[in-house]
Structure 1
């Protein structure tokens, strides 16, 4: 019996379960695996819910299996941190050779982030690969690339995570960077030609809507500015509450303006930054979220890298027209990144507000991407480095923004991906002392929390290194895939 389902298949039951708060974590019901055919469950629910003494929780527990997160990462023995991570790779390994509930099928084993996250996540997997490289787990690196390729070939893109309710959005497109990392590890030049078709398909997904788009308009993930230049934005195909945060979205929607609130929320999730003052029109409140009005510096830098990789993979196959086409697109995008995202006054990269035709006021750590990928000139890099040193670097690592709002992608939290981006960016432009400081501040924070708790966390408090990070829609998780990966990689550099 195939147990795969989409949330809308059980919409009435799902709606009642989430609103009744049977589970403390709204993700529980999205991860449930039906024990009977969905049609049968729905029919029974419709019939039984009207009867006297009906117990909703009992009904749900009888008709669904809650496999939940299986990872328990705290041990009696207190291993050195690197040994702990080596054991974690096995504990965080999963397979999904068949569909179960909302979980998508994948051809290869994979690593999950940990905690409540027991599925394959897109951009997390790149930072996990950094650690797998250090651990010599090349096969698992190849598995991650294969799984991404499978999803792109079968769905057209890599979903946010491998569940049916994430089929309306992706995450930051790191597939081409995964290929670079695998090539660096194996020195196998055929990697690029092997996945050329996959790269093209992912590019088509992000550029879908560019044909026929008029100036000063947006279609899906494509934006054409007043000047007629093409940029990209994060976007979600659905405008409805997120199943995994159902009640939160409904509550926030009540005091929000505009009819695209849910899509703005979901589009921010495609960035991986859920949530941050970066997305808020007033810089403070989630009700003012306007992700759809922004073209983002990180996304456009990643798509430049995808264009460059496509040009390279075309050249390797003597596809001269394609090589030229993608090289020209990348060259144009490089110009646009400087034109639309570089703030000459503040000496930092920012996002671009499509409607206002101006840069957004939010100062955030995604400004590192042009340095991470070598797109900034030396003067721009100096400006960013100064900003990073003065506004973003604290005792416990790099924070994501300069604002404290209670959102988890704001001050005071330090997230693993940006420690790696910060370290690499500074190294790229010769700011070696600053690179070392970023590395040492964050790694010592990770070690201190591990010493005190026996856990590796999803995020860390960069300001108060006596406490554990907080904020956001759920408690701080342990495990944790990208922390493990970045810590190992930084220790080796």
Structure 2
């Protein structure tokens, strides 16, 4: 597959553009489509840049096309929120039949998150599928699974998003959960057999380097603890500024001595939590980010689900050796999840700092994953329910952490995925009242913002329900894929 890497090919010009801040959003340039060959644009730039009256922005506008973002505005007349969401599925549907600029070709049409995010995103797509399920848009659900499969077959994994500069990292691996959702929606267990090889290939990506590990070491996305146990972490293969946030990373790097600062930043992007105090070490700032030293509760739970699904899929295909192999892997990982991530004192799951051989101090909402996937004991579920009620549940939904830092994945923001995980997780363990409270608090918040603005947002303020959420490197986006999916699914449950 020919994948254009034109950002690398025009590195000098690209760096000059991003440093000059000719666009308010640095993602604008990464989405640009060259109108001529890169070599021709480079030659023109070298010849023109030192000429009197040279204007960099004009040069860029004359040599690149800038695709318009999908506008979620449907009608001037305010529609009921459910009708608005129904219409949004078509508005947010795009396709990429060929490689264009940084955009990767995909075989099927797909739904983008919205706002500045006009490409296929990995973990967003699972929560989008929840909404498609309620709308009985099974063909689009199949499209999402097919696109993930295509990316795994071509690259070995699903990139963070479908652009060339995301080919160094993935996102939380939801492909096995997508298969569950598709099988449930279509009442077709053959889904697991059809995508078994693809899922196994993704598993190998996340476990790559396992056999070369020695105690207290890490290779790519796997670590070996001092006790000799294998856990997983988020990781990015590059240690350079992110093209989509180039200048931000350059500036932030000036006040840190961490030689792996850029890789830590990028690895946090693989987690989907970009950014949060969850990843910060001593100093509690972005400069202290140390995600590479952590094994994460959410990731290890998702890989448990991958192993469990592979065992189930092997059984359906009558492959007993693989069924048993992945069953043992899943059983082993379930024990490790409770051994390494459960904090008996805090009564929640946390991340594990494998160099310090202890749990991190951050209290965060990823503690919901073992409940969502049924890995917690009834006693643990009860303890988590009490902690969530006391520290995480607010009038506008569940917050992500207990710290307020100005980062978008910190207090007081509430994000759609974790309202769903909390709702399902607590219902599964019999805490129906808490599940309903999470659902009602967040859905009312979504409705309030929609009634005031006509928009469905990327994130919400759970504490001050009179405002819209903020924080992070870019303004709150509207559209918004996973909010639409989770909201409509919750309202029907």
Please show how residues 237-386 of structure 1 align to structure 2 within 5 Å: 237-282=237-282, 284-386=284-386
* Cα distance in structure 2, aligned partners of 1:416 and 1:257: 35
What does residue 235 of structure 1 align with? 235
Instruction: Point out the more displaced range, 158-167 or 208-217.
Output: 208-217
**1-side partners of 2:344 and 2:185: how far apart?**
38
Identify if the C-alpha distance between structure 1 residues 202 and 469 changes in structure 2 by more than 3 Å, giving closer, same or farther. same
Deviations 1:379-423 (A, max 9, x none): 011111111111000000000000000000000100000000010
Partner of 1:97: 97
C-alpha deviation, 1:7, in angstroms: 1.4
1:382 aligns to what SS in structure 2?
helix
Distance in 1 of aligned mates of 2:72 and 2:418: 26
Indicate the residue corresponding to 1:215 in structure 2.
Answer: 215
Equivalent residue of 2:210, what SS?
A: coil
For residue 226 of structure 1, what is the aligned residue in structure 2?
226
Structure 2: which 5+ residue stretches go unaligned? Answer: none
The answer (yes or no) to whether the contact 2:5–2:165 under 8 Å persists in 1 is no
Instruction: Give the drift of 1:283.
Output: 6.3
Alpha-carbon separation, structure 1, partners of 2:472 and 2:68: 21
Shift of 1:3: 9.5
Runs (4+) of structure 1 exceeding 3 A deviation are 2-6
Aligned residues: 492
Deviations 1:51-95 (A, max 9, x none): 111110000000000013132425311110000000000000000
* 2:175 is aligned with 1:175: yes
* Partner SS, residue 124 of structure 2: helix
Aligned to 1:410: 410
Distance 1:303 1:178 in 2: 13
Once structures 1 and 2 are overlaid, which stretch shifts more, 321-330 or 73-82?
73-82
Residue 141 of structure 1: SS of its match in structure 2? Answer: helix
User: Could you say which residue in structure 2 is the equivalent of 1:139?
Assistant: 139
Instruction: Answer whether contact 1:75 1:454 (CA < 8 A) is retained.
Output: no
Specify the alignment match of 2:439 in structure 1.
439
Question: 2:79 matched to which residue of 1?
Answer: 79
The one-character-per-residue Cα deviations of 1:181-235 (angstroms, maximum 9, x if unpaired) are 0011011111000000001100000000001210110000000000000000000
Give yes or no for the alignment of 1:162 onto 2:134. Answer: no
Structure 2 residue aligned with 1:36:
36
Q: Aligned equivalents of 1:73 and 1:386: distance in 2?
A: 41
Shift of 1:50: 1.4
Kept in 2, the 8 Å contact 1:222–1:231? The answer is yes
Structure 1: which 5+ runs fail to align? none
Deviations 1:313-371, CA, capped at 9 Å, x for gaps: 11111111111000000000000000000001111000000110000000000000000
The 3 A distance-change label for structure 1 pair 89 and 331 is: same
Instruction: Identify the residue that residue 152 of structure 1 maps to in structure 2.
Output: 152
- Separation in 2 of the partners of 1:386 and 1:283? 30
Alpha carbons 1:304, 1:333 under 8 Å: kept? yes
Counterparts of 1:93 and 1:439, CA distance in 2: 27
Indicate the RMSD between aligned Cα atoms, in angstroms.
Answer: 0.9
Q: Per-residue displacement from partner, 1:440-466 (whole Å, max 9, x unpaired)?
A: 000000000000000000000000000
In structure 2, C-alpha distance between the alignment counterparts of 1:365 and 1:283, rounded to whole Å: 22
Which residue of structure 2 aligns with residue 108 of structure 1?
108
Q: Is the 8 A contact 2:149 2:195 kept in 1?
A: yes
Query: Residues 28 and 68 of structure 1 are in contact (CA less than 8 Å); yes or no, is this contact kept in structure 2?
Result: no
Task: Provide the C-alpha distance between the structure 2 equivalents of 1:459 and 1:6, rounded to a whole number of angstroms.
Answer: 32
Q: Residue 401 of structure 2 contacts residue 410 of structure 2 at CA under 8 Å; is this kept in 1?
A: yes
CA–CA distance in 2 between the matches of 1:4 and 1:325?
39
Q: Tell me the secondary structure at the aligned position of residue 457 of structure 1.
A: coil
Q: Distance in 2 between the 1:280 and 1:329 partners?
A: 31
8 Å CA contact retained: 1:3, 1:101? no
Please identify, of 435-444 and 74-83, the stretch whose mean Cα deviation from structure 2 is larger. Answer: 74-83
* CA deviation after TM superposition for structure 1 residue 280, in Å: 0.2
Is the CA contact (8 Å cut-off) linking 2:74 and 2:87 kept in structure 1? no
2:427 aligns with 427
**1:474 CA displacement:** 0.2
Alignment check: 8 A CA contact 1:209 1:220 kept: yes
What secondary structure is seen at the aligned counterpart in 2 of 1:215?
coil
Contact 1:131 1:488 in 2 (8 A): yes
> Secondary structure of the residue that 2:244 maps to in structure 1?
helix
Distance (Å, rounded) in 1 between the aligned partners of 2:3 and 2:225: 45
TM-score by length of 2: 0.99
Tell me the CA shift for residue 47 of structure 1: 1.1
Q: Work out whether residues 17 and 56 of structure 1, in 8 Å CA contact, stay in contact via their aligned partners in 2.
A: yes
Distance 1:46 1:300 in 2: 49
